[in-house]
Amino acid sequence: MSRYTELLEKIKKKQAVVSVIGLGYIGLPTALFYARSNLILHGTDTNEVLVSDLKQGKIAMLEEGLEEIARNYLMKIDLHTNYEQLGDSDVCVLCLPSPLDEKGKPNTAYLEDSISNLAKILKKGPLIIVESTIAVGTTEMLSRMFAEKSGLKEDKEFWFAHCPERVLPGKIVQEMDENHRLAGGISTRSTEITVEFLKSVFRPDLIHPTSARISETAKLAENAFRDTNIAFANELARISDALGVDVNEVIRFANLHPRVEILNPGLGVGGYCLPKDGWILVESAREKGFDSKLIPAARAVNDSMPEHVMRRIQKTMKDRNLESTTVGLLGLSFKANVSDTRNSPTLQLMSFLKEEEISYVVYDPLVENDFGSTKLNSMNEILSGCKIIVLCVGHKIILEELQRADLSKIILVDPRYELKRLKSEVEYYIGLSS
Amino acid sequence: MSRYTELLEKIKKKQAVVSVIGLGYIGLPTALFYARSNLILHGTDTNEVLVSDLKQGKIAMLEEGLEEIARNYLMKIDLHTNYEQLGDSDVCVLCLPSPLDEKGKPNTAYLEDSISNLAKILKKGPLIIVESTIAVGTTEMLSRMFAEKSGLKEDKEFWFAHCPERVLPGKIVQEMDENHRLAGGISTRSTEITVEFLKSVFRPDLIHPTSARISETAKLAENAFRDTNIAFANELARISDALGVDVNEVIRFANLHPRVEILNPGLGVGGYCLPKDGWILVESAREKGFDSKLIPAARAVNDSMPEHVMRRIQKTMKDRNLESTTVGLLGLSFKANVSDTRNSPTLQLMSFLKEEEISYVVYDPLVENDFGSTKLNSMNEILSGCKIIVLCVGHKIILEELQRADLSKIILVDPRYELKRLKSEVEYYIGLSS
């Protein structure tokens, strides 16, 4: 029996040994889903604190439904901090970071290290699946690298695919079940065996065979599309501000049009994916001689928002002789109801305030890190100490606390228009535009 | 009784005399809708041929359902080529062009001329409604101009509003009935009386009171939003071409994502509105000191598409030694199933082909003008004379004719991917990307 047939049989019978490499925002829920489907499972992460916490059942990330699934399936995952015991893996699923380097180019060091480690220890030719969002052509490059380092023959002794995660932080558990998945193999056989593997865990009608390059491009395009549409809303906010109209009203009326759906503007775009994936797509094309125009413009617009909000705060302080007061920032994470602060626009706003020597304190019951600022422990402390409050991120708990508070003497800065219903209850309300 | 009360009563009782000024793509259907609602109606247009045709029941524009409504109501409109008999108008609805001038700035000359003419002849203070898409602040400017020229007092002796049309060419009749409408007055009273007037013709739940400035901004934002989203699809096509992947597949897979809806890329963006409205919005903000980034980038991307398609045709001709053949262009109008050729990307493609000395012929049974090119009279002539066929616009009749034809020896260029199902039936199929 060829290794392909053997592997296919093992996958179909759920006897394949599966290793999830990287147990972060995507890897951990992914591993738990596999465990729930009764796969034989290794999970490894070089972060020793994370793995030791997981062994004790502790989960740091905040995700709806994650604790419940962890309670039932975490103990079924064989947890490690290195690759030593992954030698018997049939399927390796890489959920590793793919950040930008200092020059703004995709950094594949985590993926390359993992490929090198796997090439050393795997006893039989595996199916390797990359879930990370990567530049177009990276899957093929990693596959060639694995062939060189392992001595195994691509498409004959091992198979390789890109299956990008597509879930929304905060709804990861729900969306892992419900979202469509791409199975982008480097070859027809790689695609086919990947489809079989995914079918053993997820709904078969949600799995779509394609090529690695198309899968890579589609995933980057998804995030660039979101980023560009948020940028449109943000540019409209800046334009509305210049024109002296309320962008919130402009969008409400424009969206009555049957073919228009402008997103909400805000403090900017954060999180791990959106601020970088547009650049990865642009850089992929630039290497082939094409200079993109729209996606870079979208990035520039979104990056300009924290400073815009700072300028509006600054102007209000000047207009009302409040220059010596302390500004209270509510919410440090990059979006509501998560603890993830990666690329959070609030952190950008903080550095702009610091630059302009405007003093501030922060409050976020979901985030532990204080990022070098004074972090208060209750909404009361913020409200008694600050005349100007900025709702950077509307965690459910923050919105509830604000709802109960007396805001009649407060100047509320609300760049996401989450509390526009309180407009008449606060002393002064500031959105993104006049 | 004040003029306001009198006018309001007349409007409510459908006794107001209404003049529609400008009987083009928007004005004519608008006038017919008013006639259908039994309003007393004048219609005027300076185009004498148009008015004389209309008097004979002839309608040049192709719009689904328009002929039927015209058959029943055209004779109820009192048609003119000047303002002489509009003196008794209570409500004036301006459906006039608002193009860009040579410097790319909004040209309000048509509207200003009309305001001057109305100021001279109106016997009583009117409600004036502008339907044209205009720069932010233009309604207020026109109202002040009318006050000056007529001697009437704004908001006391006349009322003024912006109610932008929002209909899709090709579906104007249907959408006039079904789409939401903004009533953007220059004052509360102007808004209120405008709402009453619109209610006498359209479904009351579809009418939304707002200010003129917000109405102006919202309308421009709608078109800039569409344009930006088409630009995203087009940029993705260019990127996919550089990366050697099929953009059509990329979009199909990306759109499986629950929050992604990438539009179709194509030959570019034409028509009267989309190519200019983004610039009007940008220019409105620029005058107030804000430089937009995203909308200008979107315009540049969309404008680049005809040349991109020409380059792909040129490359195919070179690769296949077809330099001396004639290219057949199907469809001259800016979108399918309309006769409107304003800013049509096909015309741009024609000028790029001419520049590169590539010979071409055109075919479009819906368009009379040949734009200085050789216009053939049947699909057969095109197919027998041209090895390379470009489906510029897929009119229903063109698609049907292609479906019946033998395309096995044809190189089909299909920038909108309308005939991708014929990919295996043609000799060679060319989209926007590899």
Q: What is the pLDDT of residues A69-117, one digit of tens each?
A: 999 999 999 999 999 999 999 999 999 999 988 888 889 999 999 999 9
Interface of B with A in 115-174 (CB under 8 A): 136-137, 166, 168
**Closest among A97, A86, A119, A114 to A19, alpha carbons compared:** A86
pLDDT at A104: 82
A295 touches chain B (CB under 8 A): yes
- A170 pLDDT above the threshold of 90: no
Interface of B with A in 207-246 (CB under 8 A): 208, 210-211, 213-215, 217-219, 221-222, 224-226, 228-229, 231-232, 235-236, 238-246
- A196 pLDDT above the threshold of 90: yes
User: At A168, is the pLDDT very low, low, confident or very high (cuts 50, 70, 90)?
Assistant: confident
In angstroms, the separation between the Cα of residue A312 and the nearest Cα of chain B is 15
pLDDT at B426: 96
Q: Which residues of B touch A258 (CB under 8 A)?
A: 175, 178-179
pLDDT at B195: 98
Whether residue B260 contacts residue B254, with contact meaning beta carbons closer than 8 Å, is answered with yes
d(CA A119, CA A147): 8
d(CA B150, CA B128): 13
Whether residue B22 contacts residue B190, with contact meaning beta carbons closer than 8 Å, is answered with no
Of B240, B282, B290, the CB nearest to A217: B240
Name the CATH architecture for the domain at A3-220. Answer: 3-Layer(aba) Sandwich (3.40)
Query: Does the beta-carbon distance from B235 to A293 stay under 8 Å?
Result: yes
The two structure tokens encoding residue B329? 């262009």
B254 touches chain A (CB under 8 A): yes
Active site residues of B: 219, 273
ipTM given for this complex = 0.95
pLDDT at B105: 86
pLDDT at A61: 82
- For chain B, 434 residues long, the average pLDDT of each consecutive 10-residue run is 94 96 95 94 96 93 89 96 96 95 90 98 96 96 98 97 90 90 98 97 96 98 98 98 97 95 97 92 96 98 98 96 95 93 96 97 95 94 96 96 94 95 94 92
Q: Letter for the amino acid at B54?
A: L
Query: Does the beta-carbon distance from A229 to B231 stay under 8 Å?
Result: no
> Which CATH superfamily, name and number, covers B242-430?
NAD(P)-binding Rossmann-like Domain (3.40.50.720)
In angstroms, the separation between the Cα of residue A21 and the nearest Cα of chain B is 25
d(CA A140, CA B251): 21
Query: Does the beta-carbon distance from B214 to A250 stay under 8 Å?
Result: yes
Q: Is the dihedral of CA B188, B190, B194, B197 positive or negative?
A: positive
Kindly give the residue spans of alpha helices, DSSP state H, lying in B290-395.
Answer: 294-303, 305-319, 345-355, 379-385
In angstroms, the separation between the Cα of residue A61 and the nearest Cα of chain B is 23
The two structure tokens encoding residue A113? 């290290």
Kindly give the residue spans of alpha helices, DSSP state H, lying in A108-211.
Answer: 109-121, 138-150, 172-178, 188-199
Whether residue B221 contacts residue A252, with contact meaning beta carbons closer than 8 Å, is answered with no
The two structure tokens encoding residue B29? 């259907």
Helix, strand, coil % (nearest 5) of chain B?
Answer: 45, 15, 40
A238-276 pLDDT per residue, tens: 999 999 999 999 999 999 999 999 999 999 999 988 999
Helix (H/G/I), strand (E/B), else coil: A36: helix
Q: What DSSP string describes B125-183? A: --EEEE-S---TTHHHHHHHHHHHHH-PPBTTTBEEEE----PPTTSHHHHHHHS-EEE
Q: Which residues of A touch B225 (CB under 8 A)?
A: 232, 254, 260, 262
d(CA A184, CA A212): 4
Residues of chain A above pLDDT 70, percent: 100
Segment A383-406 shows an average pLDDT of 95
In angstroms, the separation between the Cα of residue A90 and the nearest Cα of chain B is 28
Query: Does the beta-carbon distance from B225 to A256 stay under 8 Å?
Result: no
The DSSP secondary-structure symbol of A335 reads S
Q: Letter for the amino acid at A24?
A: G
Among the residue ranges A176-180, A208-212, B378-382, the one predicted with the least confidence is: A176-180
Size of interface A-B (CB pairs under 8 A): 183
pLDDT at B163: 97
A5-23 pLDDT per residue, tens: 999 999 999 999 999 999 9
Of B180, B215, B249, the CB nearest to A214: B249
Identify each DSSP E strand in B88-135 by its residue range.
Answer: 91-94, 127-130
User: At A60, is the pLDDT very low, low, confident or very high (cuts 50, 70, 90)?
Assistant: confident
d(CA A317, CA B96): 45
- A329 pLDDT above the threshold of 90: yes
pLDDT at A51: 96
Whether residue B114 contacts residue B126, with contact meaning beta carbons closer than 8 Å, is answered with no
Q: Which residue in chain B has the smallest CA separation from A252?
A: B218
Q: Which residues of A touch B213 (CB under 8 A)?
A: 243-245
- A215 pLDDT above the threshold of 90: yes
Segment A351-363 shows an average pLDDT of 97
Q: Count the neighbouring beta carbons within 10 Å of the beta carbon of residue A241.
A: 21
For domain A243-430, the CATH class is alpha beta
A289-326 pLDDT per residue, tens: 999 999 999 999 999 999 999 999 999 999 999 999 99
User: At A173, is the pLDDT very low, low, confident or very high (cuts 50, 70, 90)?
Assistant: confident
pLDDT at B170: 84
Whether residue A185 contacts residue A191, with contact meaning beta carbons closer than 8 Å, is answered with yes
Q: Which residues of B touch A243 (CB under 8 A)?
A: 136-137, 213, 217, 284-285, 288
- Average pLDDT of every residue of chain A: 95
Same fold, B3-220 and B242-430: yes
Kindly give the residue spans of alpha helices, DSSP state H, lying in A201-289.
Answer: 212-243, 247-254, 274-287
**Closest among B311, B323, B136 to B214, alpha carbons compared:** B136
> What are the residue ranges spanned by the domains of chain A?
3-220, 243-430
d(CA A113, CA A132): 14
d(CA B314, CA A420): 55
pLDDT at B327: 98
The two structure tokens encoding residue B405? 């034809």
Whether residue B224 contacts residue B297, with contact meaning beta carbons closer than 8 Å, is answered with no
A45 touches chain B (CB under 8 A): no
